[in-house]
Amino acid sequence: MALDSVLVVGGGGREHALAWALRKDPSVGQVHIAPGNPGTAAVGTNHLVNAVDGAAVAALAQELKADLVVVGPEAPLVAGVCDAVRAVGIPVFGPDAAAARLEGSKAFAKEVMKAANVPTAASRYCTTAAQAAAALKEFGAPYVVKNDGLAAGKGVVVTNDYDAALRHAGDCGEVVIEEYLDGPEVSLFALSDGTNVLPFDPAQDFKRVGDGDTGPNTGGMGAYTPLPWAPGDLVEEVVRTVIQPTVDELRRRGTPFTGLVYAGLALTSKGLRVVEFNARFGDPETQPLLCRLKTPLGQVLYAAATGKLADEPPLVWGAGATCAVVVAAEGYPGTPRSGDVITGGYADHIFHAGTSLNAAGELIATGGRVLAVVGSGETLAKARADAYQKVAGVHFDGAFCRNDIALKAANGEIA
């Protein structure tokens, strides 16, 4: 199937990577991005359309005669942008609002997991201070308190401080409080056409802002793939015990999930447990994953969007490793400084997130996570060295990154 016109909705690093990988697929003609960013302008055509406005996105898709629409971020998914595009008869990769609740509500995700017998942390849904206090006492420290709704990766507080945990619950109003999960974390993505699933290789993300996993949670400060330390049957086990049962349960409920199921997992001493689901490609895991993916991206996203994943062979991956390091702006994950001019920001394998052009046409930092720089190599050690070498070529005042992305894994220190 020739995909003459593909529209990617969103404007972050994940959408830049999606547009970049679509551009490399020989069956894909034009790549359009709405709204995109200065990075995506280098691989396709940007359109100034509000990504969460379903009617506007559907109208743009019709105007562009799009063969496929790919919706990247969670906000448009939860807002029903895929519903609006499907309603005008254009194939869309991304779940309807009803299925996107898997990410949009932590309580809904827990309910689905319970019904589908998917292993996850024991949890309590709390709407009052008294309920929260009781749940915190039941599970004990370390305390895990999650905002029920979307919070851009910053709604979760993990702390030994009881008062801070209770305060976060009060600030959020509706929270899920759950048992603490130990063990390394894994991000496993799978394409779903509502019935069949096709897994990606696993990746690992770095959520805390500081080296050594210190400081507050972020949207993700870096990622790498594959995981040299992971058990060989990890992907098969996650598909069998987590992803397929979840997709089956959503279909059974009449809200089939078409798009990307992201399982955030903890490999605990008691076995694997789901930490969270997302209804979209992860950011920054997508950047290194798509840099390793050999299968043409447009064709598999189209197969998922049109219910034909059963015909697709397993995805093909490059033999080496890839590693993304996020370059962030001072202040992130709080309010980042903004407006600093970036040099060295355009290169293949540099993916833009919080960037804009100023009046003089210079590239400037205008977000917390500004760029993700992907390195590659035959081994993880070489991939991370390549990434940090490329990071050294990027400059803006107030830039910082973590210095230990993939370090433990490259040193064989994860078991």
Q: Find tokens 């509502």 and name the residue.
A: 194
The rounded distance, in Å, linking the Cα atoms of 7 and 31 is: 6
x-or-dash pattern for ligand GLY, window 192-211, by CB under 6 A?
-------------x------
**Among residues 217, 306, 338, 356, which is the contact residue for ligand AMP, using CB under 6 A?**
217
- From the CB of 150, what's the least distance to ligand GLY, in Å? 10
User: Which of the stretches 11-19, 47-55, 175-183, 305-313 binds ligand AMP when contact is defined by CB under 6 A?
Assistant: 175-183
The interface with ligand GLY within residues 151-170 (CB under 6 A) comprises 153
The two three-digit tokens of residue 380, written as one number: 């993880």
The interface with ligand GLY within residues 92-121 (CB under 6 A) comprises none
Residues near ligand GLY (CB under 6 A), total: 8
Confirm or reject binding of residue 386 to ligand GLY (CB under 6 A): no
The rounded distance, in Å, linking the Cα atoms of 249 and 16 is: 32
- DSSP 3-state percent helix, strand, coil across the chain (nearest 5): 30, 30, 40
- From the CB of 245, what's the least distance to ligand GLY, in Å? 21
Q: Find tokens 């035959």 and name the residue.
A: 378
Binding partner of 326, given ligand AMP, ligand GLY, none, CB within 5-8 angstroms per partner class: none
- From the CB of 206, what's the least distance to ligand GLY, in Å? 9
Q: In the 8-state DSSP scheme, what is residue 337? A: P
Strands (DSSP E) found in 66-135: 68-71, 92-93, 123-126
Residue among 23 and 207 whose Cβ is closer to ligand AMP: 207
The rounded distance, in Å, linking the Cα atoms of 181 and 277 is: 15
- State residue 386 phi and psi, 5-degree precision: -65, -45
The two three-digit tokens of residue 359, written as one number: 């009046």
Q: What is the 3 state secondary structure string of 27-82?
A: CEEEEEEEECCCCHHHCCEECCCCCCCHHHHHHHHHHCCCCEEEECCHHHHHCCHH
The rounded distance, in Å, linking the Cα atoms of 395 and 186 is: 31
Binding partner of 282, given ligand AMP, ligand GLY, none, CB within 5-8 angstroms per partner class: ligand GLY
x-or-dash pattern for ligand GLY, window 274-313, by CB under 6 A?
----x---xx-x----------------------------
- From the CB of 386, what's the least distance to ligand AMP, in Å? 26
Confirm or reject binding of residue 220 to ligand GLY (CB under 6 A): yes
Confirm or reject binding of residue 148 to ligand AMP (CB under 6 A): no
The rounded distance, in Å, linking the Cα atoms of 167 and 165 is: 5
Residues forming the site for ligand AMP (CB under 6 A):
121, 144, 146, 156, 158, 178, 180-181, 185, 207, 217, 264, 275-276
Residues forming the site for ligand GLY (CB under 6 A):
153, 205, 219-220, 278, 282-283, 285
